[in-house]
Structure 1
């Protein structure tokens, strides 16, 4: 030990060590600002997720349209999401996945058509594909030939057949499912409550106006 330190009282040396430990502890602690930023990011993420979930809730009008025709379901982002949930319960969501993949494929850049066409074919169309859709042998072969000379329309016939399959088969069961029935009942009840609330508010405004 240095001679100068040796001459200091033991209590002074102990105080110096305590101060050193406190400084080290403070240096290791995250700055309040950094911690606040992390909490803010987490809060924003939760808020965004909540807003997205609320936005996806269908109205009674939307549900009514879905019951009118399959095209209304497919033309609605929320409708497709709800219908996909139903397909998942029947283990047939690959039909919607394939249909959406075909829609996205039509927007693919010409230079990437061949690569993307092969990916879709191998994923959904060829025999024993990971997510094989239900196509007849003739359509499957026609699609295979189309993929060899990939163009934006090479999946059109296969996509049309899957659309018809969903419309004539899955959609009918969807209309009778507990999922759509619960949605219809819930949204109708919610809108009735809103109408009653609006009526009450209107009556209150009229009463206040009359009283004035």
Structure 2
């Protein structure tokens, strides 16, 4: 009895088609991936070449690093000790002002010292037009309601400034500046003297990373009853 052999050529055809399809799919994927990789590599090379062609890129990198090192080493412990004698001595020294500003940033209250600095700069204005422009900038940045860096002032002080800002004088912000100065001296300054930033300086230790913590600005009216203000007017 003869045995019949039956062939199913369609099976081989299916297998061949599947293999062909598999190769086409994965082959094209690799090809596209390779093209995308080449494009990305080319873009990176172009960006790098542009940076290297700019001389200020090297200057800023070098200056930034050396400036950071200078901030850590240029203050002697003896000089830093003097800042603990009074708040005035701290603010009158450039490095002291810088260290105190760095401390306020850890508490998210740097608007106070920035307002004080802006007022000091404002009082040096000479031209009438310059006085008007700077007064408007200070008012919009620190005084008006919902200002981007609004300082915590009592209602009466803010009202006086609001009325005078259209025709400002060099003394328009004196009351507000004095108020903010007192708040910093009696609150922030005492904490600064106990902070790692200051203790590292007087001990001659390298600066350490500082923790950021949010303080509510409502403390200014509750914790400083001895600071003269007109809060009672609007309570």
TM-score by length of 2: 0.59
Q: Counterpart in 1 of 2:187?
A: 169
Residues 1:150 and 1:47: Cα distance change in structure 2 (over 3 Å):
same
Matches of 2:174 and 2:133, distance apart in 1? 17
If asked which structure has higher relative contact order (CA below 8 Å, sep 6+), I would say 2
1:59 aligns with 2:76: yes
Which residue in 2 is equivalent to 1:84?
A: 101
Which residue of 60, 67, 82 maps to 1:45?
60
Of stretches 40-49 and 96-105 in structure 1, the one that deviates more from structure 2 is 40-49
Q: Is 1:184 matched up with 2:202?
A: yes
**Larger CA Rg, structure 1 vs 2:** 2
CA deviation digits over 1:59-97, x for unaligned, max 9? 112210111111111001111111111111111100011
How many residues are treated as equivalent by the alignment? 154
Instruction: Provide the residue aligned with 1:28 in structure 2.
Output: none
- Determine helix, strand or coil for the equivalent of 2:204: helix
Cα shift at 1:45: 3.5
Say if 1:87 and 1:170, in contact at 8 Å, map to a contact too. yes
Over aligned residues, Cα RMSD in angstroms? 2.4
Which deviations, in whole Å up to 9, do the C-alpha atoms of 1:98-124 show, x marking residues without a partner?
A: 111111212333212212211211111
1:24-43 to structure 2, matched below 5 A, reads 38=53, 42-43=57-58
1:160 to partner: Cα distance: 1.1
Structure 2: where are the runs of 5+ without partners? 1-49, 207-235
Please state which structure has a larger fraction of its residues in helix.
Answer: 1
| Residues 78 and 202, structure 2, Cα contact 8 Å, conserved in 1 | no
Contact 1:60 1:187 in 2 (8 A): no
SS in 2 for 1:56: helix
Map of 2:113 onto structure 1: 96
Give 2:137's aligned residue: 119
TM-score normalised to structure 1 length: 0.64
The 3-state SS of whatever aligns with 2:84 is helix
The alpha-carbon deviation at position 152 of structure 1 amounts to 1.6
